[in-house]
Structure 1
Amino acid sequence: MTATASTTTSVLTARALLLDMDGTLVNSDASVERCWRLWASEHGLDPEEVLKVVHGRQGYATMAVLLPDRPMEQNYADNRVMLAQETADTEGVVPIPGAPAFLSAIAELPHALVTSADVALSDARMTAAALPMPRTRVTAENVTASKPHPEGFLLGASTLGFAPEDCVVFEDSEAGIEAARAAGMRVVGVGPRARAMSPDAHVEDLTQLRVEALPTGEIALRFS
């Protein structure tokens, strides 16, 4: 099923929801861009080209794409520095429109946060955006591979106790949507970056979504 929320009304049903954080629940673009522009300048890279690939991946994975000949140990070291910088920089971090109401609507329904951030960064950004942290979350500490690898979403589904085909993922980035598809899950794309990936449904933000708990135990996602 494909839906563009601005022009059609459509429905997806699921038994569990898996939620990316940055770009999906939280607008952290200002912080991300400040930190990555600095890193790009320090390494003689074009910041605009760097910003095209940073979204969705863990930092070390982005660095490996941009500097493929560099030892991975250096990427991991730089990633630790980057995470500390991003955790300290919450200026301009705000909720995606509709995120507070969306999280309230699904509070008692099966859902999990699946983010490339670590625990400290996810705490900092959800707090800065004044959003409640889902009881179940998968962070960088819980996986061995970054998106677009499906490990995080598969772990989120199994932790909640659902099969991949029973889950719908909310994502904004190419890497995240590729990860969800590799996990065998349907995808709701959020925001402009997601549109080009032809997700199963697309919304400009979370105000274009209504959640309904069905008597069957399923979750209906209605787009308008």
Structure 2
Amino acid sequence: MPVTAASTTAATTLTARALLLDMDGTLVDSGPAVERVWRAWALEHGLDGDQVLQVVHGRQGFASMAILLPDRPMEQNIEENARMLVLETVDTEGVTAIGGAADFLAALSLGGLPHALVTSADDALARARMGAAGLALPPVAVTAEHVTRSKPDPEGFLLGASLLGVAPADCLVFEDSEAGVAAGLAAGMRVIGVGAATTGYGATVSVDTLDQVTVTATASGTLTLTVTP
């Protein structure tokens, strides 16, 4: 059953069979930690920190480095990314939950509703940030170790759908970054964007916080999401 959407002036209703959730910027506000680590990296390489931060959101570190330092061997990017992941994992100061994320995840878990985390972080970083934000890690999680290509490639979302046993067209993605929205759309999925900027990225519908999203399930397994303005 394809994901469908119907809009009214009061709300938007979408249906799906499973939800795929990004972490940073979608469930977890890790902005301060991301900025500290990447500004230090920018300074080390003589790059403008503001320009670096415009590139890194939503991507795995090695993919961001490849954009920012295009002449550098990928092996060096991968090695340096591993070092940065360690630094990010221990730096959880200021990491908090996005508005509505705790209640949203709790409702999905309590209702036994199919969902998975799909993040560019590795397993250790995902656990550290979700823990620092006071959020439970979903039982199904696609992290950096499980994919060979970074967002905006759809590999992670397609794997998440496969692990849940749901066709891509029946999945709904939650994302905040341009790369993440592009990955969800490339996977043939519709996207609920978290943050006003996601409208410009092509998200199906955008919200400011997850408090605006309510999920209910039918006996047939269909999930109905009501998005209020």
Q: Which has the higher contact order (CA 8 A, sep 6+)?
A: 1
| Residue among 159, 165, 168 paired with 1:164 | 168
Within the alignment, does 1:202 sit opposite 2:206 as a pair?
yes
Gaps in structure 2 of 5+ consecutive residues = none
Q: Write the deviation string for residues 71-129 of structure 1: whole angstroms up to 9, x where unpaired.
A: 11110111011101110100000000000110011111000000000000000000000
Gaps in structure 1 of 5+ consecutive residues = none
Q: Find the aligned partners of 2:142 and 2:10 in 1 and give their Cα distance.
A: 32
Amino acid of the structure 2 residue aligned with 1:81: R
Question: Does the 8 A contact of 2:28 with 2:129 survive in 1?
Answer: yes
Q: Find the aligned partners of 1:184 and 1:209 in 2 and give their Cα distance.
A: 21
Amino acid of the structure 2 residue aligned with 1:11: T
**Secondary structure at 1:189 match in 2:** strand
Q: What's the Cα RMSD here?
A: 1.3
- Identical residues among aligned pairs (%): 61
Determine the structure 2 residue equivalent to 1:13: 15
Amino acid of the structure 2 residue aligned with 1:183: A
Q: Write the deviation string for residues 162-205 of structure 1: whole angstroms up to 9, x where unpaired.
A: 00000000000000111111110110000134232131111011
Question: Does the 8 A contact of 1:174 with 1:197 survive in 2?
Answer: yes
Q: Which consecutive aligned stretches of 4+ in structure 1 deviate over 3 angstroms post-superposition?
A: 1-4
Q: Find the aligned partners of 1:62 and 1:90 in 2 and give their Cα distance.
A: 21
Determine the structure 1 residue equivalent to 2:155: 151
Determine the structure 2 residue equivalent to 1:42: 44
How far 1:8 moved relative to its partner?
4.2
Seen in structure 2, the aligned counterparts of structure 1 residues 216 and 2 have a Cα distance that, compared at 3 Å, is closer
Q: Find the aligned partners of 1:198 and 1:184 in 2 and give their Cα distance.
A: 13
Seen in structure 2, the aligned counterparts of structure 1 residues 46 and 179 have a Cα distance that, compared at 3 Å, is same
Amino acid of the structure 1 residue aligned with 2:28: V
Determine the structure 2 residue equivalent to 1:139: 143
**Secondary structure at 1:159 match in 2:** helix
TM-score (normalizing by structure 2): 0.94
Determine the structure 1 residue equivalent to 2:94: 92
Seen in structure 2, the aligned counterparts of structure 1 residues 45 and 3 have a Cα distance that, compared at 3 Å, is farther
How far 1:18 moved relative to its partner?
0.3
Aligned pair count reads 222
Q: Find the aligned partners of 1:215 and 1:163 in 2 and give their Cα distance.
A: 19
Seen in structure 2, the aligned counterparts of structure 1 residues 49 and 148 have a Cα distance that, compared at 3 Å, is same
Q: Find the aligned partners of 1:98 and 1:26 in 2 and give their Cα distance.
A: 10
Q: Find the aligned partners of 1:182 and 1:89 in 2 and give their Cα distance.
A: 32
How far 1:133 moved relative to its partner?
0.6
Determine the structure 1 residue equivalent to 2:129: 125
Determine the structure 2 residue equivalent to 1:68: 70
Determine the structure 2 residue equivalent to 1:221: 225
TM-score (normalizing by structure 1): 0.96
How far 1:3 moved relative to its partner?
6.2
**Secondary structure at 1:52 match in 2:** helix
Q: Find the aligned partners of 1:54 and 1:180 in 2 and give their Cα distance.
A: 17
